[in-house]
Structure 1
Amino acid sequence: MARRRLPWIALVLLGVPVLTALLGPWTAGGEAPQEGALPSRPPGAGHPLGTDVLGRDVLALVLHGGASVLGSALGALLIGLVAGVPLGLLAAGPRRGLDEAVMRGLDVLLAFPGLLVLMTLAATGHREWYWLVTVAGLLQVPAVARLVRGAALTPGSRTVVEALRMQGHGWASIHLRYLARELAAPVATDAGGRFAVVLYLLASANFLGLGLPASSPDWAVLIERNSPALFTQPAAVLVPAGLLTALCVGGNLLVDRLLAAKRRNP
């Protein structure tokens, strides 16, 4: 019974923050609220979730803040996949020298801690959201490329690839038709977990003040701004933190269940 309920749990956990991010700005209407009420007030009339440390309505901030979270994480994940998958396939090709050049170059990037790179970026004055998303995405490229290369070098894959090559099939036909199908499951599984990694990295950067400005309604920024008032106004911290957690857990659960269903019903 628990296994049957799990997809619904995943859908609920993922659906709540996603719908909040997509429909929140439209539901709240207008721009994010500005200062105008007493700071750190508990939930009450006119403010269902209370106010934050700047006197802004927490509910309106939460409704406006999910779009930046979801958009930034998906954008960074897409950059990592678009750059990492072709590099992994290229490294798995028959040319040994090309494999070494690609993987050793990616090892250099892999050696840099993500937060340290974002701190350096912020110190040079590049705090715009597109810089944050681009760099966070590029930091995922080495891990994605290694995964794709490893999956493409499995004995079964190599045997079929050699057979197709002997039959005269070109690189594009082999990699885009056969290997793409073989790699779909591991890449999708990794993408579910990598989404949580990207979300954690971006949220940490915003929490540390390395990304979006302090006035942003982004959920991670809200957590950082209101953490000193956790015990006097917990909703301002726990609601955005709960939405971030649900987004990570729900995404991983849903990907795992879809892949498990595919294995049972190939």
Structure 2
Amino acid sequence: MRGRTVTKRARRPWIALVLLGVPVLLAVLGPLVAGDAEPRPGALPSQPPGAGHPLGTDVLGRDVLALVLHGGASVVGSALAALAVGTALGIPLGLLAAGPRRALDETVMRTMDLLLAFPGLLVLMTLAATGHRAWFWLVAVAGALQVPAVARLVRGAALAPGSRTVVEALRMQGHGWAYIHLRHLARELAAPLATDAGGRFSVVLYLLASANFLGLGLPASASDWSVLIERNSDALFTQPAAVLVPAALLTALCVGGNLLVDRVLARTRRTV
């Protein structure tokens, strides 16, 4: 029994890498090898897989395989861009709140609490109603909604007893704010931020996919996987590949990312 358990544990990283690697590779290499996704002459909408269309056609008569190969870039790119926005804004705010000024800490944290009160989809619905449906707005809002969580994580790590003692010692030695926060604390925060980024990627991906599925983000003609699911949902029983293939890729991306984060956490726990 113990040998079987060890074998299963040894395979888990490969499962995570395969689940995460397939959609990521499609996102990176897909647009380079994909053909034209526009409807070909004589192509009918919602056709099952057949000659010339390995995955069939969508409701507009476009080749589903070409759409899938094109659509991954926007999914992964949007999630990474929103994650970068949240991290870039959350880290300095968290470090600012962890400083010696109590009033500044309260101001930053109460502002973060206010941002946490806004439901993400409601904000995106408001933007869509005002005509702000561009990729920029979708990524900016999704990234801004991650700032409070990232700022809280950074503040908590910077205020940990061990970090606080070292910071006080460095401050007594005459080191400035930039040296303490950008050199010392940056190294201390690298591990928790990397771990959080892995799980937060799935959160951002879920928010962006939900927005696109509800028609709040990218236009209906986009080849994004979540848009494909929404556009072809009515043809699920007549042309299931147009819905199930992008849905499976989105699921693999989320599950693979979560499994990889869990694996990293388990390995870190064993080494501590």
TM interval, short-chain normalised: over 0.9
How many positions carry a matched residue from both structures?
265
- Give CA deviations for 1:75-126 in whole Å, capped at 9, x if unaligned: 0000000000110011011110110111111211111100000011111111
Determine which of 11, 34, 44 is the counterpart of 1:5.
Answer: 11
Q: Does 1:34 align with 2:44?
A: no
1:60-79 to 2 correspondences below 5 Å: 60-79=66-85
Q: CA deviation at 1:262?
A: 4.6
The answer on 1:124 being equivalent to 2:104 is no
Bigger shift: 75-84 or 157-166? 157-166
Residue matched to 2:3: none
Question: Structure 1, residues 191-237: CA drift from partner, whole Å, max 9, x if none?
Answer: 11111111111111111111111111100000001111112211111
Pick the aligned partner of 1:161 from 147, 167, 175. 167
Q: CA deviation at 1:259?
A: 4.4
CA distance in 2 between partners of 1:252 and 1:153 (Å) = 27
Question: Percent identity among equivalent residues?
Answer: 83
Name the counterpart of 1:200.
206
Structure 2: how far apart are the matches of 1:96 and 1:169? 21
RMSD over aligned CA atoms reads: 1.5
The equivalent residue for 1:232 is: 238
Q: What's the secondary structure of 1:181's corresponding residue?
A: helix
AA partner of residue 34 (structure 1): P
SS in 2 for 1:125: coil
Q: Indicate whether 1:105 and 2:111 are aligned.
A: yes
Looking at structure 1, the residues matched to 127 and 113 of structure 2 have their Cα atoms a distance apart, in angstroms, of 20
Relative to 1, partners in 2 of residues 1:71 and 1:51: Cα closer, same or farther, differing over 3 Å? same
2:23 is aligned to: 17
- The residue identity in structure 1 corresponding to 2:27 is A
Counterpart residue number, 1:88 = 94
Structure 1, unmatched stretches of 5+, are: none
Indicate how the Cα distance of structure 1 residues 222 and 49 shifts in structure 2: closer, same or farther if over 3 A, else same: same
Amino acid paired to 2:78? S
Distance 1:105 1:265 in 2: 37
Rounded Cα–Cα distance in structure 2 between residues aligned with 1:154 and 1:187 = 15
CA distance in structure 2 between the partners assigned to 1:2 and 1:230 by the alignment: 35
> Which residue of structure 2 lines up, in the alignment, with residue 136 of structure 1?
142
Aligned twin of 1:255 = 261
Query: Offset of 1:254 from its aligned partner?
Result: 2.1
Amino acid at match of 1:152: A
Judge conservation of contact 1:69–1:218 (CA < 8 Å) in 2: yes
**Contact 1:62 1:240 survives alignment (8 Å):** yes
Change (3 A) 1:256 1:168: farther
State the 1:186 CA deviation: 1.4
Give 1:165-176 correspondences, 5 Å limit.
165-176=171-182
Q: Any runs of at least 4 consecutive aligned residues in structure 1 with deviations exceeding 6 A, and if so which? A: none
2:145 is equivalent to residue 145 of structure 1: no
- Give 2:224's aligned amino acid: D
Whether the 8 Å contact between 1:35 and 1:54 is mirrored in structure 2 is no
Match of 1:214 in 2: 220
Q: 1:193 touches 1:252 (CA, 8 Å); kept in 2?
A: yes
